[in-house]
Chains A and B, each alone.
Chain A
Amino acid sequence: MKKWQDNKGWLFILPVFLIVAFSAIVPLMTVVNYSIQDIFGPGQSVFVGTEWFREVLRDQRLHEALWRQLLFSGLVLLIEMPLGIGIALLMPAKKGFGASLVLVTLALPLLIPWNVIGTIWIIFTRPDIGLMGAAINAMGLTFDHTASGLHAWITLMLMEVWHWTPLVALLAYAGLQSIPPAYYQAAKIDGASSWSIFRYIQLPKMRGVLTIALLLRFMDSFLIYAEPFVLTGGGPGNTTTFLSIYLVKIAVGQFDLGPAGAFSLIYFLIVLLFCYLFYQALLNVGGGKES
C-alpha cells in the first residue's frame, strides 16, 4: 500500500504518544523502581538489585498460580474459539430483523461490568436461590462452588465461556460477512462439500479476525481479575487464585512493593511473549500476509 514518506506523521501521533506515555511509561518506571529497591517508607529505600526477582522466581505459590493461569487460558481458548466459529456459521447471513436481534443478544454479555458478571453467576449458581444451582441439586448432585475447587473451576469456566464466546462469534461473523457471494457460487458450481467450503473459503477468509479474537481472548483471560475475585475470591483454598489475584494480594494486601514490582514485570513479559508468539504463528499459517 502506498504511503507518504514524511516525518510530519509524528505531529499527528504526538497527543496519543504523550497521553499513553504519561499513563504507561511513568507507572512502568515506578514498577521498575519498586522491583530493585527495598522500601521501608517514604524516602527510605535501599537498592537490592535482583533480589526480589530471585525471590519471586522461587516462590512456589507463584509457580502454582502460573500453571493454573496457563491451564485456564488454554481451556478457555480451546472451548471458546471453536464454539464461537460454530455460532458464527449458524448466524443468519442476510441483514434484517433476525440478524439484528442475534447481534444485540450476543453483544449483551460483553457490556456488563465484570464484577456484575461475577454477581450474576453467584446468584445463578447458588443452591438456595439460583436457577442452575437449584437445578443441579434437584438432580441429586451437590454443587457448591464455595466448598469444592472443582466446582469453582466449572462455574468459572461456564461464566467465562458464557461471557466471552459472543466476542469470538461476532468477530468470526464479521469475517464471514466479508466473503463475496461469488466465492460461494464458484464453490457450488465445483460441487464443493460444506466442509471444503469451510476449510478452503471461510476459514482462510476469517484468519484476520480470528487472529484478533485469539489475541484479545488470550490477553483478557490471562489478565482475568474481577470475575473470579467476585465469584470465589481466589478460593476455596487457592484453587482459583490466578496471577492477577495473587499479584493484588501481594501488592495491596501485604503491601510488599518490591516482590510485587518484580512479579509485575515478569507477568507483563510473559503476556508479551505469548502474544508475540501467537501473532507470528498466525501470520505464518497458510503462508504470507493477507488482508
Chain B
Amino acid sequence: MKKRYITLTVYLVVIMLPIYWMLNMSLRTNADIMAQLVFFPTDITFSNYMKIFTDPAWYNGYINSIIYVVLNTIICLVTALPAAYAFSRFSFIGDKHVFFWLLTNRMSPAAVFLLPFFQLYSTFGLIDTHIAVAMAHCLFNIPLTVWILEGFISGVPIEIDEMAFIDGYKFPRFFFFVFVPLIRSGIGVAAFFCFMFSWVELLFARTLTTTAAKPIAATMTRTVSASGLDWGLLAAAGILTIVPGALVIYFVRNYLAKGFALGRV
C-alpha cells in the first residue's frame, strides 16, 4: 500500500515539474534567468505579471479567448442537449448514420479545414470576430458534447419521461424543469470538455482572427523582440493560460471520474 502511493506521488511530481519550472521563470527577470539556474528563486519579482495586466495588447488576448470559449460552450450545450435527447430516446430514419457522421467531424484534421474556413467566414464577413472562432470550434466540440450527453441521458430510464407525460407535463416544462436537473452532472462534464478543447485549440483561433479577437495563445508570440526572447514574460503569459483551466477543473472535480465512465462508445 505504501509503495503504491510513493509511485503515484513520484508520477504527480513529474507532472508538476515542467509547470513548476515555468512558474519559476515567470517570477524572475530575463537577465536573472539567463544568468543562472536556480531551483528555488530568491529574488522574486512580479514585474512580468504586472506588464501583462497593464498592457491592453496582452490582457485583451485573455478576454478574447474567454469570450469565444464561453460562446462556444453555450452554443454546444444549447444545441447538443436536444440532439443528445433525440439520439437517446427516439429511433428515427438515419439516426445511426447521422450520429456516426457527427463523430467523423471530431476526427477531421483541423489543418484540412483551414483555408476553406477562412474563405467561408470571409464571405460572411465574420473574420476577426469571436463568433467565428466559436463556430469553428463547434466542428469538433458539438460531436463530443452530443456523445457525452447521450451517454448520460441513456443512464436515465425512459420510464421517467413516460411517467412525467402521464402526469400531464408538457414537453418543454418536463425537459427544462425535470430532465435537465436530472442530468446536471453530465452537463457539467460536457461543459468541461467544451471549455477544454476550445481553450487549448490554436490553429483555427489564430487563422480566423487578426487583431480584434486575437487569442492569448497567438499573442504570446509578441515576446520575441529585438533583444531576443523575453523568457520571463513568456513564462508568465503561459502560467496565466493555465489558471482558467485549473479553476474549471476544481469546480467539476467531483463529477470528473463519474462523467468519463458514463460516456458510452
Contacts and interface: CB of A to CB of B under 8 A. Distances in A.
Interface of A: 1-13, 15-17, 19-20, 22-24, 26-28, 30-31, 34, 87, 90-92, 95, 100, 102-116, 119-121, 123-124, 128-132, 134, 162, 166, 170-171, 173-175, 177-178, 208-209, 211-212, 215, 219, 223, 225-226, 243-244, 247-248, 251-252, 257, 260, 264-265, 267-268, 271-272, 275, 279, 282-283, 291
A114 B201 contact: yes
Given A12-B90, A177-B261, 10 more contacts: A6-B91, A7-B92, A91-B8, A92-B5, A175-B260, A178-B261, A225-B110, A225-B203, A271-B108, A272-B104
Chain B interface residue number, banded: 35 or more
Contacts of A119: 22, 220, 234-235, 238
Given A209-B261, A226-B203, A279-B265, A100 B253 contact: yes
B114 A212 contact: no
Given A7-B92, A129-B33, A116 B119 contact: no
Interface stretch (B43-51, B52-60, B131-139): B131-139
B87 interface: yes
B105 to A, nearest CB: 5
Nearest to B91: A3
Interface in B187-213: 196, 199-203
B146 to A, nearest CB: 6
Nearest to B24: A131
Given A12-B85, A23-B135, A247-B112, A112 B143 contact: no
Nearest to A95: B254
B68 interface: no
A22 B259 CA distance: 29
B82 A129 contact: no
Contacts of B138: 19-20, 23
A103 B192 CA distance: 14
Nearest to B105: A24
Interface in B1-59: 4-5, 7-8, 11-12, 14-19, 21-22, 25, 33-34, 37, 39
A31 B113 contact: yes
Contact of A15 (B79, B87, B217, B253): B79
A100 B12 CA distance: 13
Nearest to A282: B265
A16 B145 CA distance: 11
A-B complex: 4 closest residue pairs judged by Cβ atoms:
A111-B245, A9-B90, A174-B260, A12-B86
Contacts of A279: 265
Given A19-B142, A23-B135, A247 B264 contact: no
Nearest to B6: A90
A243 B75 CA distance: 31
Nearest to B13: A105
A183 B245 CA distance: 36
Contacts of A226: 202-203
B152 interface: no
A174 B261 contact: yes
A127 to B, nearest CB: 10
B109 A271 contact: yes
A16 B238 CA distance: 34
Given A30-B116, A225-B111, A251-B111, A108 B249 contact: yes
Given A15-B83, A223-B110, A121 B256 contact: no
A272 B107 contact: yes
B117 A23 contact: yes
Contacts of A30: 115-116, 119-120
A162 B174 CA distance: 44
A23 B86 contact: no
A166 B18 CA distance: 15
B115 A252 contact: yes
Contacts of B8: 87, 90-91, 102
B254 A257 contact: no
Contacts of B89: 3-4, 9
A98 to B, nearest CB: 9
Given A20-B142, A271-B107, A124 B18 contact: yes
18 contacts: A4-B91, A9-B90, A12-B90, A16-B80, A27-B117, A87-B11, A103-B256, A108-B16, A111-B245, A111-B246, A112-B200, A112-B242, A113-B201, A116-B238, A162-B14, A170-B257, A171-B260, A178-B261
B93 A7 contact: yes
A267 B106 contact: no
Interface in B239-265: 241-242, 244-246, 248-250, 253-254, 256-261, 263-265
B83 A16 contact: yes
Given A17-B98, A87-B11, A248-B114, A104 B142 contact: no
A215 B37 CA distance: 41
Nearest to B238: A116
B92 A177 contact: no
A177 B261 CA distance: 8
B202 A5 contact: no
Contacts of A244: 109-111
